[in-house]
Amino acid sequence: MSGSNFVDYVKIYCRSGNGGPGSRHFRREKFEPNGGPDGGDGGRGGHVILRGNAQMWTLLHLRYARHLMAGHGESGGKQTSTGASGKDVYIDVPLGTVATHSETGERLAEISEDGETFILAKGGRGGLGNDNFKTSTNQAPSYAQPGEPFEESWIVIELKLLADVGLVGFPNAGKSTLLSVVSAAKPEIADYPFTTLTPNLGLVSYYDSKSFVMADIPGIIEGASEGKGLGLRFLRHIERNSVLLFMVPADSNDINKDYEILLGELTAYNPELLDKERVLAVSKSDMLDDELKSEIRTQLPAIPSIFISSITGEGIKELKDVLWKTLNQSL
């Protein structure tokens, strides 16, 4: 994912269409100059509709189209003909998109399936034509209903990446390097903090044509849940991952402490993240000998843990096995 093309947060204005007014028409024919009412109903106003699209991965297109307005319904016609409905506006979004009302903070929709839809702004109903109001005592009503007015609001659209495995770690923990080794993804890799400024997705191949999706989430720092560093900007993506793969480098002063800090930041952001399956990968393990690994292993948290090296390939196969097993346990 190119940093310039990846957009995961936009605020848009949605306005539906007015319903068309009902008609007050009376039937006037050659041999029936005083015919009864035959005014048709007005057309429905257009909706503004959110729609899931599995082929999309960014909200970039909404950055340049933030005012979305549906068409108005047309007036009813003679011979009880209903006016045309206003044109609906569809907003295609990636799977994992959440819509929230900008003023109330109410979560309106979460799109997780291809083709799934949700009406963000409902078009006004068309007014009833005068044909609907005729009775035995009022055979020539000269009134009709106006159409209902449009709805409008500002909506916050956020993308939370859908992935099987989310990589969680401090900057320079080796997350991008691992993703580049186990998948065809080509994230930017360099030896300085916050190389990854946008989430990257990679498809990890497993045995017998099986695969799973791994997401490299930009590095977390202590205080991220309070907005420090990249802060809350990318923590939302972790919510949609089935398994969290914590990565702590072997040269850490205290691997277990770093893991606890990472876990604490996720918990502070959303306590429900504690319910997700967790795996720990000790990266850059090529710098450790067997004696050091044995010593470190006694200090690791009580979750599945693997020593890996993306440079030498150490532990990569075992890591895939553990992740696949954990994923299938969590389904």
Average pLDDT over residues 181-201: 58
Residues 296 and 311 in one domain: yes
Most confident of 72-76, 219-223, 265-269, 323-327: 72-76
3-state SS of 151-212 is CEEEEEEEECCCEEEEEEECCCCCHHHHHHHHCCCCCCCCCCCCCCCCCEEEEEECHHHCEE
- Provide the percentage of residues in the chain whose pLDDT is more than 90: 48
Closest CA to 140 of 30, 31, 33, 20: 33
Question: How much is the pLDDT for 69?
Answer: 97
Q: Whole-angstrom Cα distance, residue 164 to residue 328?
A: 10
Residues 106 and 92 in one domain: yes
User: Is the model's pLDDT at 193 over the cut of 50?
Assistant: no
Which of residues 105, 133, 159 is at a domain's end?
159
Residues 131 and 196 in one domain: no
Residues 144 and 210 in one domain: no
CATH code for position 168: 3.40.50.300
Question: How much is the pLDDT for 207?
Answer: 84
Are the beta carbons of 306 and 280 closer than 8 angstroms? yes
Residues 153 and 178 in one domain: no
**pLDDT class of 168 with cuts at 50, 70, 90:** confident
Angle at 283 between CA 301 and CA 232, to 5 degrees: 75
Residues 152 and 213 in one domain: no
Count of domains forming the chain = 2
Question: How much is the pLDDT for 152?
Answer: 96
Q: What is the pLDDT of residues 78-127, one digit of tens each?
A: 999 999 999 999 999 988 899 999 999 999 999 989 999 999 999 999 99
Question: How much is the pLDDT for 89?
Answer: 97
Residues 250 and 301 in one domain: yes
Average pLDDT over residues 268-297: 89
User: Is the model's pLDDT at 196 over the cut of 90?
Assistant: no
User: Is the model's pLDDT at 230 over the cut of 50?
Assistant: no
Angle at 124 between CA 119 and CA 130, to 5 degrees: 145
Question: How much is the pLDDT for 177?
Answer: 85
Residues 185 and 286 in one domain: yes
Residues 9 and 147 in one domain: yes
What SS3 class is residue 91?
strand
Residue 27's CB is within 10 A of a number of other CB atoms, namely 16
User: Is the model's pLDDT at 262 over the cut of 60?
Assistant: yes
CATH code for position 140: 2.70.210.12
Q: Whole-angstrom Cα distance, residue 95 to residue 82?
A: 36
Does residue 264 or residue 7 have the better pLDDT?
264
Q: Whole-angstrom Cα distance, residue 159 to residue 168?
A: 18
Helices 175-182 & 316-330 angle (0-180, nearest 10) = 90
Question: How much is the pLDDT for 32?
Answer: 72
Q: Which two tokens stand for residue 8?
A: 């995961």
Residues 241 and 136 in one domain: no
Residue-number span of the structural domain to which 31 is assigned: 1-159
Residues 210 and 227 in one domain: yes
Residues 66 and 212 in one domain: no
Partnered with residue 74 across adjacent β-strands are none
Amino acid 331 reads L
Question: How much is the pLDDT for 198?
Answer: 63
